[in-house]
């Protein structure tokens, strides 16, 4: 299944939890710029094929899987000293609180130029980081929620895990050198 089809299936499943569309909001696709903003100010990573498909398909997705999916602009807004709106401020504060207080949070383990915040809850501690590794076409997804943490080899595997509705029991092991 393609990334857009996996996303659409995830949206369909997530819609069952919000049938009146009171919480879920989906913005139009992001304008593709120089790449994916990392947590390091001014540093971008190249658009991988899967992430290019994701950002061409939709922008910010509120009430998504593991919080709200950030648009490329939302990711860049994390660099600002002053958040442009209340939602951005809550996302930034949630990320910082997790980084400083969650044992083994990716943002505490890796350099900021290796991480991008892909999704984050403005009201809780759910979040998803993209971890950029050398010699890998797609970044890994490091996922945190109240059940703990998970790692996925790429966006497609993350979405397959969400669609399978197996949550933290979904696992498809891989070795870094076998990509």
The percent of residues in the chain predicted with pLDDT above 90, rounded, is 68
Residues 162-173, mean pLDDT to the nearest whole number: 62
The domain tally of the chain equals 1
In a domain, 12, yes or no: yes
The mean per-residue pLDDT over the stretch 52-56 comes to: 97
Query: What secondary structure does DSSP assign to 85-101, as a single string?
Result: SHHHHHHHHHHHHHHHH
**Per-state percent for the chain, helix, strand, coil, to nearest 5:** 35, 20, 45
pLDDT at position 166: 55
Is 174 among the domain residues? no
- Residue 81 counted as domain residue: yes
Residue 38 lies in a domain: yes
What's the chain's average pLDDT?
A: 89
Query: In this model, does residue 177 exceed pLDDT 70?
Result: no
Q: What is the pLDDT confidence band of residue 172, given thresholds at 50, 70 and 90? A: low
127 DSSP β-pair partners: 120, 144
Residue 118: domain span: 3-167
Contact 147, 139 (CB under 8 A): no
For residue 178, being part of any structural domain is answered with: no
Residue 143, class by beta-carbon neighbours within 10 Å (0-12 exposed, 13-18 middle, 19+ buried)? Answer: buried
pLDDT of residue 175: 46
**Does position 170 have pLDDT exceeding 60, yes or no?**
no
pLDDT score of 171: 54
pTM higher than the cut 0.85: yes
> Is residue 56 one of the residues assigned to a domain?
yes
Residue 174 has what pLDDT? 47
Tokens of 147: 């059940």
34: in domain: yes
pLDDT value at 113 more than 60: yes
Q: Check residue 146 and give its pLDDT.
A: 80
Q: Is the pLDDT of residue 21 over 50?
A: yes
The interaxial angle of helices 155-163 and 49-57, nearest 10 deg, is: 60
Instruction: Provide the pLDDT for residue 179.
Output: 45
Within a domain: residue 44? yes
Q: Are 14 and 25 in contact (CB under 8 A)?
A: no
């Amino acid at each position: 299944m393609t990334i857009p089809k996996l996303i659409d299936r995830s949206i369909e499943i997530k819609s069952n939890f919000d049938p009146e569309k009171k919480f879920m909001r989906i913005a139009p696709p992001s304008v593709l710029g120089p790449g994916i903003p990392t947590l390091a100010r001014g540093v971008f990573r190249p658009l991988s094929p899967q992430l290019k498909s994701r950002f061409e398909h939709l922008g910010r997705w509120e009430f998504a899987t593991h919080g709200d999916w950030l648009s490329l602009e939302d990711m860049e807004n994390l660099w600002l000293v002053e958040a442009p709106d209340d939602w951005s401020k809550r996302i930034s504060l949630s990320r910082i609180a997790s980084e400083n207080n969650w044992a083994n949070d990716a943002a505490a383990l890796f350099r900021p130029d290796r991480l991008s915040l892909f999704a984050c809850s403005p009201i809780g501690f759910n979040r998803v980081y993209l971890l950029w590794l050398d010699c890998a076409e797609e970044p890994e997804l490091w996922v945190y929620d109240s059940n703990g943490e998970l790692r996925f080899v790429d966006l497609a595997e993350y979405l397959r895990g969400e669609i399978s509705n197996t949550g933290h029991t979904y696992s498809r092991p891989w070795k870094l050198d076998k990509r």
